[in-house]
Amino acid sequence: MDSFQHYLDKSNKAKSVEDLVTTLLLEVKKYGYDRMIFCLLSDHSHIGLSAGVGYLNNYPENWMKYYLDNGFDKIDPVISYCRQKVGSFTWDEMSSNLNLTKKQKTCLNLGREADLLNGVCTPLWGPQRFAGVGLASSNDKDATDSRPATLDHITALCNHFYLVFQRRHDGAILNNDKLENVFLTPKEYEVLTWAARGKSNNDIGDILGISDSTVNFHLRQIYKKLQVHDRVVACTKAITLGLIFP
């Protein structure tokens, strides 16, 4: 049995969430990572959990308290970059691709001072939900393996962790009759995306080269599909369903 299959089997047989975390940590330790944080970056109503950073973690307690007390979860560049990615990425990649604010740089620097080094983050996408796993090393700067093939393996490990976490959570509600079969046309997608960005009907018409009445027509069709009565609720529900990403 290869190591990945062994990981799958052991994860599936985990008796608790804590066992599941331990299984993941044992696997990523092979690449030098000994710190892990699991964040729910959107509400997970299907298992009765609200969004929150650090739902499960073995990060230093004093760092997590300082991080949350100072509102770093609201500006963390790793989270911002995570929302735009699919596979695992390093903090170094993120830092080189984002124009970081002073507070964001402070957040990263203080994290390093807390011995969170060589960071890697894996976005975890699902229907109507979004989460992420962060990994770090408490050892010297070059102690980890972050080659592309390794990052692909970490992506697979973390996605299976996320799958089993949801399966095993006591509050899971996964009945198919609760799912919604909703889709938007390309034009409805454009109209609602701009509406979610705060644009007025007139602005949307100018951007898309259509009349106000056409914008209103598309919005009425959207309201009907989503079974709502105003644009704010329509935008919120569409984001929750993963129909738009403003």
CATH 3.30.450.80 residue ranges in the chain? 3-168
Euclidean distance between the first and the last CA atom of the chain, given in angstroms as a whole number:
44
Which residue matches tokens 């770090």?
A: 136
Q: Judge whether 226 and 234 are in contact, CB under 8 Å.
A: yes
CA–CA distance, 36 with 28 (Å, rounded to integer): 9
CATH superfamily of domain region 3-168: Transcription factor LuxR-like, autoinducer-binding domain (3.30.450.80)
- Which of 9-13, 41-45, 95-99, 177-181 is the least confident region? 177-181
Helices 186-196, 201-208: axis angle to 10 degrees equals 130
CATH 1.10.10.10 residue ranges in the chain? 180-240
Q: pLDDT tens-digit profile of 56-78?
A: 999 999 999 999 999 999 999 99
Q: pLDDT tens-digit profile of 161-206?
A: 999 999 887 544 444 445 567 889 999 999 999 999 999 999 999 9
**DSSP conformation class of 72:** G
Model pTM above 0.85? no
**DSSP conformation class of 98:** S
Architecture of domain 180-240: Orthogonal Bundle (1.10)
For residue 141, pLDDT over 90 is answered with: no
**DSSP conformation class of 187:** H
Amino acid at residue number 18 = E
Which residue matches tokens 């729910």?
A: 40
Q: Which of 67, 36, 57, 4 is nearest to 144 (CA)?
A: 36
Section 132-161 average pLDDT: 89
Mention every residue, 6+ apart, whose C-beta is less than 8 A from residue 217: none
Can you give the pLDDT at residue 188?
95
CA–CA distance, 91 with 103 (Å, rounded to integer): 16
